[in-house]
Chain A
Amino acid sequence: MNTTAQKNELIFGYSSGNLGEAKSLFTSMYLYLNSFAAKKASVFDNMLAQNFNDLEGVGLKKLKYTDCIKNNTSKKQNSNLPNNPLSRIIGDFNHIDWKTIYKGFKEFKIPVNDNDSVKLIKMDPGTSVPLHSHNGKEYILVIDGSFCDEYGEYNKGDMQINDQQIKHNPTACNTSGCVCLSITENDVIFFGKFGSALNLFTFIKSFFK
C-alpha cells in the first residue's frame, strides 16, 4: 500500500495551513511523534518561506511601525502549554473519559469544529477490530503501543491511511495494547460473521452524532 503521497499531502497541507481542525490536530501529533515527518514539514515550511522572501512587497497605505508597538497584554500565554499537541487539547491522558464500545475496545471522541471526526482509540492487548473497509478515508496514528494487520506492524509514530480499496483486521499487540488517534471521513463498513449487525449498529449510531 503506497500512502507516501497521501502522507505528504497531509504534511504539506498542514504547512500551508489549509487543513481543518481534525487533520491539523492529527498532523501536529504525527509531527510530534515522528521526526522524519517533522523534517518534511520543516523542509516545506522553509520552501514556502522562500516564496515569502522572494515576494515583491506591496506598500502599506495606512499602517506604520508605531501602530504595531504594543504592551504585552495578550490573554493567551501559549508558552506554558505542554509539548504534546494532544495534551494541549484534552489535558492529562490519565483522566480521559473513555467510552467502552466492546470488550477491550474503548474510544474517546475529541471535540473539534470540523466535518471530519477525530477520536482516540484504546485497544487492550490482543484485541481485534473485525474485518472492515471505509466509505471515505481513515487515518490512523499510533500514539502508544502497536498494532498489526494484513499490511504489517505499526508502532508509535507510524501512520496508516486506508480507503475503500483496503479491507483490514487490526489487532493490538499482545504485550502493550495500543492507543491510536484516528480520523474517519466516513463510516466504516464491516464484513464477516457479525458484519451486518455491526453495520446496523453504525447506521443507528449515525442518528446520534
Chain B
Amino acid sequence: MENTKINDLLKKVSEGRNEIAFSEIFDFIAPKINAYYIQNNLSIEQAEELTQEVMSTIWLKAELFDPEKSKFITWSFTIARNKKIDFYRKNQKNVANEEDIRDFLYTDNKSDDYEIESTIKEITKDLDENQKKLIKMSFFEQKSHKNIARELEIPLGTVKSRIRASLNKMQKHIQ
C-alpha cells in the first residue's frame, strides 16, 4: 500500500475514530504481523494474540504516528517487535510479576525515516542476496548463528564472519 494512502487512513483513525479506515489498515498489515510472529517461532494462537495487541495499539495510538518523519511500516514493525520482547519476558520463569525496563526504552523514535531513505537504498544495493538473507535470518527472524549454519549447511564460523562483514559493509554507508 502507498505511504500516502496509509497515512490518510491513519489520519481518519486518529481524528475520527473511523472503523472502516481501520479495517483497511488491518487487512494490509495484520497478516504481515501474523507472518512475522510465525517466522519467529510463535504458535498460531500466540501469533494471533500478539497481532491483536499490535493492532489495538495502532488503533489506540494512531495520533502518536507522525507521517512527516515516520514510515508506517517502520512504526508498526517497532510496535510488533516490542510486543514480542514483552511476550518473551512474560514467558521467562520468575519474572512474571516484575516490570521489564525495556517497556520504557523502546517508545521514542527521534529519527526521521525519510532522511535516511537514500542511505538504505545504497546499503540494499551494496549487500548481495546472501548477505541480506543472513541479516534477515539473524536479526529479523531471530535465528541463532548455529541454526542458520544448520539451515544453510555452511560452517558456523562462516555465518559469524559473513554477518560481521555485512554489518561492516552497512557501516560504511552510515556517515
Which residue numbers of A lie inside 8 Å of B, CB to CB?
4-5, 8-9, 12-13, 15-18, 21, 24-25, 28, 36, 38-53, 55-63, 65-70, 72, 74, 76, 78-79, 81, 83, 85, 88-89, 112-113
Contacts and interface: CB of A to CB of B under 8 A. Distances in A.
B142 to A, nearest CB: 6
Task: Name the 6 nearest CB pairs between A and B, nearest first.
Answer: A57-B31, A42-B111, A68-B55, A65-B26, A49-B77, A16-B139
A102 to B, nearest CB: 29
A71 B64 CA distance: 16
Q: Main SS of chain A's interface residues?
A: helix
Nearest to B25: A65
B101 A89 contact: yes
21 contacts: A16-B81, A16-B138, A24-B102, A24-B105, A42-B111, A43-B116, A43-B123, A48-B139, A48-B140, A49-B76, A58-B47, A68-B55, A68-B58, A70-B56, A70-B60, A78-B104, A83-B108, A89-B101, A89-B104, A112-B101, A113-B101
B101 A46 contact: no
B142 A25 contact: no
Contacts of B164: 5
Nearest to B114: A46
A16 B81 CA distance: 7
A93 B23 CA distance: 45
A98 to B, nearest CB: 20
B77 A52 contact: yes
B116 A39 contact: yes
Interface in B46-64: 47-48, 51-52, 55-56, 58-60, 64
B82 A69 contact: no
B35 interface: yes
Contacts of A9: 167
B98 A60 contact: no
A152 to B, nearest CB: 20
Contacts of B48: 60-63
A7 to B, nearest CB: 9
A21 B85 CA distance: 10
A44 B108 CA distance: 15
Contacts of A41: 111
